[in-house]
Chain A
Amino acid sequence: MAQLQTQSQRQTQGSASASAVLPEALPTTAGRARRKQTFFDRFLRHRSAVLGAVVLLLVVLVALLTPVLMNHDPTLAVPQSRFARPLSEATPPAEGVYIFGTDNLGRDVYSRVVKGSQVSLVVGLGVSLAVVIAGTCIGMLAGFFKRLDNPLMRVMDSMMAFPGVILALAIMSVRGPSVGNVILALSIVDTPRFARVVRSVVLTLRELQYVEAAHALGVTNLRIMLRHILPNCLSPMIVQATFVFAAAVLGEAGLSFLGVGTPPEIPSWGQMLGDARNFLAQAPWTMVAPGAALMVTVLGLNLLGDGIRDLLDPRLRRQG
């Protein structure tokens, strides 16, 4: 999960300067409509962004269509068909083809991979939502009110003083394995970085003339934050949220691989890889599909995030 942190660190610097350019770009509603149009056009021309979006869409489709796509019960252990090779027929009374083979308990790997997409997406979505909400609140308060800046950011700093995996492990050891706790642990890990990004953007926006003008007109702080500052933070927030999503999917897999993530009865890619590890010589196929699914999902998210950043950050676009 922490693999992306240095990258996001860089993001902090990139987006701060980008934001200074953005406010001019959204004056009227007509202009806004035109800008959306061109953004979408540019998006379609950005090959890796489109590739990432397509991959992500596919994973979402798989997760939504899980009941249709599965051909076995993903949690049903069939002792007589342990370690069935990929594409082998099930031994009666079980039926159907084991597309990716079966694992050490005789569970169908294909159905488990399909089912596993759900946990990955739920955790990814849950964590990015929680991080966006918490990170935006904290970053906004720290950036807008000078008094709150130091205390809030010191706490964020010390949360970042734990390597992500270690902090998540410590939280999981306290709370016990469950999907909700995985979301909680990973959200706590990823919030400080997001808050930093928001804060750095708010710091630059706060000094701009239109904010000063709003102050002079007697607009309330809350209204300035929501109406004038928040909309201009959106683009770095979207980019950052995509990376948080990717990091959360990887993080869930890592925790489950270690046996402290999702509980055993919920199929998850990381957990499948953890099981596969013990039977690598006998059944190497058990590690292929879950690992590939995991990598492709994370790759899709990273491509999408990179693409959106290229499109939204004029400074980076110039660099090519």
Chain B
Amino acid sequence: MFRYVIRRILAAIPVMLIVSTTVFTLLFLTPGDPAGVILGPDATPERINELREQLGLNDPWHMQMLRWYGKLIQGDLGNSLSVNNRTVMQAIAERAEPTILLTTLALTVSLLIGLPTGIVSALSRGRVVDTLVMFVAIVGVSMPSFWLGLNLIYVFAVSLRVLPLAGYQGLDQGLGETLRYLIMPAITLGLAQGALLARMTRSMMLETLGEDYVRTARAKGLNQPAVVIRHALRNALIPLVTVVGLSFAVLMGGAVITEQVFNIPGVGRLLIQAIGRRDYPLVQGIVLLIALMYVLINLLVDIVYGVLDPRIRQSRA
């Protein structure tokens, strides 16, 4: 087990290296001059060149990258150009709360929707319920999240006026208030993932329900709930762990769009703002942090997977 964990960690390191190099290079190639952005349109070419020299922007690519890596290891992502007097880290930290809450809530929503419907669908395979659930699921997968969000806003905020139109209240205002602001965004973000999860759960369940050990369990007279929960579901859940891990990444990406729909001041909106204002250090920092989070979550999923399923530990030895 220990060796398995170490091996997974070692395999993640080159991925992280390539990821960070890609992020750096991508932003390095960006047209437009950060020095010009800082100084504004009235700056003289001499002044701009002076600042470029100061910021090290005149150095070649590999020098800039090595310097960037040196700072990165110390957790220094540079200073934001558009958020006043903030380092990139501070700017991101200030916006992290809504994004973390939104993503977690959306994952909860998708699990609450996906698992039960998938199981019910698998158990009533071929019948009307199954066909109906699967059709709703494929509609859910095809539904653009931002359109769903706009519809929810129109129904619950504009027409019925039961939920706030948009925006966010922090946890310091009380959990209830925060949830009131996050419930629509969480459904918007989580529904498509829930629909996908329902489809996956169904096919995993169908697979395990057809296994010999399930037939054996039935043959020895075990009742239906025990067969389904203890034998079929438990084994179907193992591959689903991977799916949930991947969901997290999709949700983190989707959060950018959802935050834009609902005006939530999270990391995603910060990213869009940073792109609009050509705040490259901030764009770089956010993209890098999200990608590294994703690598870490997948690493965690791999390890959990190994804990749950001894075959995985062995086969990758």
How many whole Å from A264's CB to the nearest CB in chain B?
14
How many whole Å from B124's CB to the nearest CB in chain A?
12
Asked, given contacts A250-B144, A273-B147, whether A163 binds B253 with beta carbons under 8 Å apart, the answer is: yes
Instruction: Kindly supply a per-residue 1/0 record for chain B positions 235-273, scoring 1 wherever the CB is within 8 Å of any chain A CB and 0 otherwise.
Output: 000000011001101101110110011000000000110
Q: List the A side residues contacting B150 at CB < 8 Å.
A: 273, 276-277, 280, 287, 291
Question: Are B275 and A169 closer than 8 Å at their CB atoms?
Answer: yes
How many whole Å from A308's CB to the nearest CB in chain B?
14
Question: Are A277 and B200 closer than 8 Å at their CB atoms?
Answer: no
Please report which residues of chain A, range 173-187, place their CB below 8 angstroms from some CB of chain B when the two chains form the complex: 173-174, 176
Instruction: Kindly supply a per-residue 1/0 record for chain A positions 152-189, scoring 1 wherever the CB is within 8 Å of any chain B CB and 0 otherwise.
Output: 00110111011111110111111010000000000000
Main secondary structure of the interface of B (DSSP, over half): helix
How many whole Å from A147's CB to the nearest CB in chain B?
17
B10 contacts the other chain (Cβ, under 8 Å)?
no
Question: Are B256 and A258 closer than 8 Å at their CB atoms?
Answer: yes
Question: Are A174 and B260 closer than 8 Å at their CB atoms?
Answer: no
B143 contacts the other chain (Cβ, under 8 Å)?
yes
Q: List the A side residues contacting B31 at CB < 8 Å.
A: 174, 176
Please report which residues of chain B, range 128-157, place their CB below 8 angstroms from some CB of chain A when the two chains form the complex: 138-139, 141-144, 146-147, 150-151, 153-154
Asked, given contacts A284-B158, A303-B138, whether A6 binds B287 with beta carbons under 8 Å apart, the answer is: no
A5 contacts the other chain (Cβ, under 8 Å)?
yes
Question: Considering only CB atoms, which chain A residue lies closest to B126 in the complex?
Answer: A320
Question: Are A163 and B199 closer than 8 Å at their CB atoms?
Answer: no
A7 contacts the other chain (Cβ, under 8 Å)?
yes
Q: Which listed residue (B18, B23, B151, B256) contacts A169, Cβ 8 A?
A: B256
Question: Are A162 and B246 closer than 8 Å at their CB atoms?
Answer: no
Question: Are B144 and A254 closer than 8 Å at their CB atoms?
Answer: yes
Report how far A276 CA is from B256 CA in the complex, Å.
18
A59 contacts the other chain (Cβ, under 8 Å)?
no
Question: Considering only CB atoms, which chain A residue lies closest to B261 in the complex?
Answer: A277
Asked, given contacts A295-B143, A319-B206, whether A2 binds B138 with beta carbons under 8 Å apart, the answer is: no
Please report which residues of chain A, range 234-291, place their CB below 8 angstroms from some CB of chain B when the two chains form the complex: 246, 250, 253-254, 257-260, 270, 273-274, 276-277, 280-281, 284, 287, 291
Report how far A284 CA is from B200 CA in the complex, Å.
35
Asked, given contacts A3-B192, A9-B246, A166-B290, whether A302 binds B253 with beta carbons under 8 Å apart, the answer is: no
Question: Considering only CB atoms, which chain B residue lies closest to A255 in the complex?
Answer: B257
Q: List the A side residues contacting B249 at CB < 8 Å.
A: 2, 163
A299 contacts the other chain (Cβ, under 8 Å)?
yes
Question: Are B247 and A6 closer than 8 Å at their CB atoms?
Answer: yes
Question: Are B207 and A260 closer than 8 Å at their CB atoms?
Answer: no
Question: Are A154 and B15 closer than 8 Å at their CB atoms?
Answer: yes
Q: Report, nearest first, the 5 A-B pairs whose CB atoms are least far apart.
A: A163-B253, A165-B253, A291-B147, A158-B18, A299-B142
Extra contacts, 17 of them, besides A273-B150, A291-B144 (Cβ < 8 A), are: A2-B253, A9-B246, A10-B200, A154-B18, A162-B19, A166-B271, A169-B256, A170-B26, A170-B27, A173-B283, A174-B26, A174-B27, A174-B31, A276-B150, A284-B154, A287-B150, A291-B151
CB pairs A–B below 8 angstroms (21 shown): A3-B192, A3-B193, A3-B254, A6-B246, A161-B16, A163-B291, A164-B250, A166-B252, A171-B26, A174-B30, A246-B142, A254-B146, A257-B146, A270-B144, A276-B150, A280-B150, A280-B153, A284-B158, A287-B151, A294-B144, A295-B139
